[in-house]
């Protein structure tokens, strides 16, 4: 039986239904249910968020690299953090990141700025893991900056510096500045004339910045960071199109510092295609510079050669330095200083001497060639390209030849060939070449993006003469295949262009791939205001003890170079010089020549740090006063005034000292206050 309730066809009137009051005791149960429901929902939400976070965390990992919005870290196979890079030009919006295969990419920053960012994992061999990193802005004028934490390890490479340390030692804070070649004798806070965008660490990590990057380098010793910045504003770098900055590089991690460096050199560095003349490694070069400076004459050069003969020294060749021409930018001999250059060359040849000449890229405004170079457009120009850019260098004011211009290269080459043909010149010392001698704003016949490419183009002029040529600047120039000389040294003991800088400098050049090293002149350049103990401006000589210690060290370098001759001191110094030129020829040169032939294939250093054979040795990472020639000859010179002893660190192995002592050690050994007389240098042979 149906029950009719009020409300009719319109539906039930709930207000008309009878209401049953809720019992007071049941109210807490309802509250508890609501709370329980809330907790369940919260738990489910938290679990979902956790799962999403795990998935996002998994997404932002690639092999041994973990990415976050502020940067990334890389671990080695053992799980230890070996590399940390921070993003300084913005933080990533992780919601814009995705992963496809081995490529992790992101498309915007946290402030919604568009960018192209990716990290690609590459495993070229079982023992090496590499990561290609690229951050490219989309807005012109926006710089890109990544800051590498260097406090995790000891770092090596980069560039030469006026105060050279091994490993790299930075002080203070430096905003990123152009990473380009510079004359560090004149500009001591700049980067040096031999430079590559490559750094290597003791924890088996290496970073190579791509050559397309407008690289600026800075540091902060409080934060322990080195900053790699790409920018075009307030910079000598020039974009190919829009000024859109891109920072791209590779980070590779290996098993140990030696093996990862070998991999990087084989993979990313140019290598020489030939070994310079054998005699360059065996016999010393003799330069007129430190002895005569710009006062050299025909008479003085002939006397210098006669003295070399008289004192029974060998000579790979004589080097006639600045200034044999009347004006800079000319290529013939000053008839007042060299009244009969042809006869002089003939006389020297008859005595068995070959002669090289000093040259440079400058054409001074008072030179007879300046007007012609302007008319033919052979000089680097001002930004608008209409006028030559005048530059100031240490010998005046003039233009600088544009080596991106085929016509300028041909003209310069013709001048050098003419000197060879007319006088029998054997080779040339190519001075300068650093970008610090270019204007801040300039133009060239062939536009160059990176100013240091100018250095590369200049070094190529040495290729026809590379048997005996000498360069002091280099950028991607390893395959020029000639000797590279660090910039002038002062006649002082310290790290700032002094004796103590020689080993750190040679090791740094070697790590950068330049293996045919010609140290600067024994004893330094003997400038009056930069010579320890100098008292007479008219006759400046390096300190006698400094000269002897410098000579001993140079005997264990790939080549030797005299200028101030040993007979300027006394007969004892002459005998010490004879002893060490003979030792260089009999002990060092054969090893160096064997290693030099291997360089063509491997690029491995000839002058090596101790860690090369002691890869896990923390002490070896820091030693800057000892070095190896190959793996079997270790050298420990005295580098302090007034000392006839020194501490020596022997890596584990079997060593025999120059005194005949034998050390068969399973652990590294410190030899404290090891006695070394003034006419000695400590060295140890393996086996």
> Is the pLDDT score of 192 beyond 60?
yes
> Is the pLDDT score of 280 beyond 90?
yes
115 phi and psi, to 5 degrees?
-160, 170
* CA dihedral for 638, 639, 644, 649, sign (positive or negative): negative
* Helix H or strand E segment including 557: none
> Is the pLDDT score of 181 beyond 60?
yes
* CA dihedral for 127, 626, 587, 526, sign (positive or negative): positive
What is the residue extent of each domain of the chain?
61-268, 278-357+406-602, 609-687
Q: What is the pTM of this model?
A: 0.91
* Digit-coded pLDDT (tens) for 346-377: 999 999 999 999 999 999 999 999 999 999 99
Q: What is the DSSP string of 397-430?
A: EEEEB-TTSHHHHHHHHHHHHHHHHHH---EEEE
Mean pLDDT of 638-642: 98
Instruction: List the structure tokens of 632.
Output: 């079997």
- Per-residue pLDDT at 59: 55
Closest CA to 505 of 607, 628, 629: 607
* Digit-coded pLDDT (tens) for 478-488: 999 999 999 99
Mean pLDDT of 613-627: 97
Q: Which of the four pLDDT bands, split at 50, 70 and 90, describes residue 189?
A: very high
Mean pLDDT of 437-449: 95
* Digit-coded pLDDT (tens) for 219-269: 999 999 999 999 999 999 999 889 999 999 999 999 999 999 999 999 999
**Residue 475 in contact with residue 266, Cβ under 8 Å?**
no
297 phi and psi, to 5 degrees?
-140, 175
* Digit-coded pLDDT (tens) for 106-145: 999 999 999 999 999 998 888 999 999 999 999 999 999 9
Q: 609-687: what fold?
A: Immunoglobulin-like (2.60.40)
- Per-residue pLDDT at 536: 74
Q: Which of the four pLDDT bands, split at 50, 70 and 90, describes residue 4?
A: very low
Tell me how far apart the alpha carbons of residues 166 and 585 are, in angstroms, rounded to a whole number.
28
511 phi and psi, to 5 degrees?
-65, -30
User: Omega into 129 within 30° of 0, i.e. cis?
Assistant: no
498 phi and psi, to 5 degrees?
-115, -170
Measure the N-to-C terminal CA separation of the chain; round to a whole number of Å: 117
The per-residue pLDDT of the chain, averaged, comes to: 92
CATH number of this structure's domain 61-268, picked from the four choices 1.10.287, 2.60.40, 1.10.3470, 2.40.128:
2.60.40
Q: 278-357+406-602: what fold?
A: TIM Barrel (3.20.20)
Assign 373 to helix, strand or coil.
Answer: helix
Tell me how far apart the alpha carbons of residues 290 and 171 are, in angstroms, rounded to a whole number.
32
**Residue 191 in contact with residue 159, Cβ under 8 Å?**
yes
Q: Per DSSP, what are the bridge partners of residue 137?
A: 115
Domains 278-357+406-602 and 609-687 in one fold: no
* Digit-coded pLDDT (tens) for 524-581: 999 988 898 777 777 789 999 999 999 999 999 999 999 999 999 999 999 999 999 9
Assign 346 to helix, strand or coil.
Answer: helix
- Per-residue pLDDT at 532: 87
Closest CA to 520 of 532, 533, 539, 506: 506
Q: What is the DSSP letter of 183?
A: -
* Digit-coded pLDDT (tens) for 407-428: 999 999 999 999 999 999 999 9
Pairing state of beta strands 645-650 and 669-675?
antiparallel
> Is the pLDDT score of 7 beyond 70?
no
Residue identified by tokens 């006389």 is: 347
* Digit-coded pLDDT (tens) for 377-386: 999 999 998 8
- Per-residue pLDDT at 126: 87
> Is the pLDDT score of 21 beyond 90?
no
Assign 8 to helix, strand or coil.
Answer: helix
Mean pLDDT of 90-101: 96
> Is the pLDDT score of 24 beyond 70?
no
Q: Which of the four pLDDT bands, split at 50, 70 and 90, describes residue 3?
A: very low
- Per-residue pLDDT at 535: 74
* C-alpha pair distances (Å), 80 with each of 65, 83, 200, 319, 548: 11, 9, 17, 53, 46
Tell me how far apart the alpha carbons of residues 50 and 44 are, in angstroms, rounded to a whole number.
10
Count how many Cα atoms sit within 13 Å of the Cα of residue 351 in the half-sphere of its side chain.
26
């Amino acid at each position: 039986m149906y029950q009719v309730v009020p409300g009719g066809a319109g539906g039930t009137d709930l207000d008309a239904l009878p209401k049953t009051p809720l019992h007071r005791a049941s109210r807490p149960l309802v509250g508890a249910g609501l709370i329980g429901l809330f907790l369940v929902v919260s738990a489910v939400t938290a679990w979902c968020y956790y799962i999403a976070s795990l998935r996002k965390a998994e997404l932002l990992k690639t092999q041994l690299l973990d990415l976050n919005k502020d940067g990334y870290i890389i671990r080695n196979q053992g799980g230890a953090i070996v590399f940390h890079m921070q993003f300084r030009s913005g933080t990533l919006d992780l919601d814009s990141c995705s992963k496809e295969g081995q490529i992790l990419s992101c498309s915007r920053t946290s402030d919604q700025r568009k960018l192209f960012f990716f990290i690609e994992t590459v495993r070229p061999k079982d023992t090496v893991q590499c990561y290609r990193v690229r951050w490219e802005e989309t807005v012109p004028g926006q710089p890109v900056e990544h800051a590498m934490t260097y406090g995790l390890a000891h770092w090596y490479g980069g560039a030469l510096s006026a105060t050279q340390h091994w490993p790299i030692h930075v002080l203070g804070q430096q905003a990123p500045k152009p990473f380009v070649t510079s004359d560090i004798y004149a500009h001591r806070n700049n980067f040096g004339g031999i430079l590559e965008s490559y750094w290597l660490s003791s924890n088996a990590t290496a970073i190579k910045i791509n050559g397309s990057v407008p690289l600026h380098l800075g540091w902060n010793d409080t934060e322990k960071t080195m900053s790699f910045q790409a920018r075009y504003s307030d910079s000598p770098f020039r974009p190919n199109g829009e000024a859109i900055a891109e920072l791209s590089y590779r980070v590779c991690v290996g098993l140990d510092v030696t093996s990862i460096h070998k991999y990087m050199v084989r993979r990313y560095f140019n290598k020489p295609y030939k070994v310079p003349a054998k005699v360059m490694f065996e016999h010393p070069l003799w330069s007129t510079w430190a002895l005569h400076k710009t006062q050299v004459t025909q008479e003085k050069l002939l006397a210098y050669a006669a003295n070399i003969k008289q004192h029974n020294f060998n000579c790979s060749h004589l080097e006639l330095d600045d200034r044999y021409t009347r004006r800079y930018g000319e290529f013939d001999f000053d008839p007042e200083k060299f009244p009969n250059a042809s006869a002089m060359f003939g006389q020297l040849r008859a005595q068995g001497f070959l002669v090289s000449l000093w040259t440079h890229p400058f054409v001074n405004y008072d030179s007879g060639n300046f007007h012609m170079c302007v008319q033919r457009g052979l000089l680097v120009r001002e930004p608008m390209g209409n006028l030559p850019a005048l530059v100031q260098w240490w010998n005046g004011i003039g233009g600088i030849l544009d080596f991106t211009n085929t016509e300028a290269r041909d003209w310069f080459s013709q001048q050098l060939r003419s000197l060879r043909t007319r006088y029998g010149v054997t080779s040339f010392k190519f001075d300068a070449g650093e970008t610090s001698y270019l204007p801040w704003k300039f133009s060239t016949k062939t536009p160059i993006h990176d100013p240091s490419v100018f250095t590369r183009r200049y070094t190529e002029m040495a290729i026809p003469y590379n048997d005996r040529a000498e360069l002091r600047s280099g950028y991607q120039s390893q395959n020029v295949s000639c000797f590279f000389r660090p910039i002038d040294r002062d006649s002082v003991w310290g790290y700032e262009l002094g004796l103590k800088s020689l080993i750190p400098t040679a090791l740094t050049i070697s790590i950068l791939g330049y293996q045919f090293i010609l140290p600067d002149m024994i004893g330094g350049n003997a400038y009056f205001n930069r010579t320890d103990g100098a008292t007479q401006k008219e006759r400046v000589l390096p300190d006698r003890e400094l000269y002897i210690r410098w000579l001993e060290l140079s005997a264990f370098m790939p080549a030797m170079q005299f200028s101030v001759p040993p007979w300027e001191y006394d007969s004892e110094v002459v005998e010490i010089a004879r002893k060490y030129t003979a030792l260089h020829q009999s002990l060092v040169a054969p090893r160096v020549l064997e290693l030099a032939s291997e360089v063509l294939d491997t690029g491995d250093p000839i002058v090596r740090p101790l860690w090369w054979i002691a890869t896990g040795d923390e002490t070896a990472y820091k030693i800057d006063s000892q070095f190896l020639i190959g793996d079997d000859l270790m050298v420990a010179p005295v580098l302090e005034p007034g000392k006839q002893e020194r501490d020596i660190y022997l890596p584990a192995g079997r060593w025999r000292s120059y005194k005949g002592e034998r050390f068969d050690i399973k652990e590294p050994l410190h030899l404290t206050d090891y006695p070394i007389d003034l006419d000695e240098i400590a060295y140890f042979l393996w086996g």
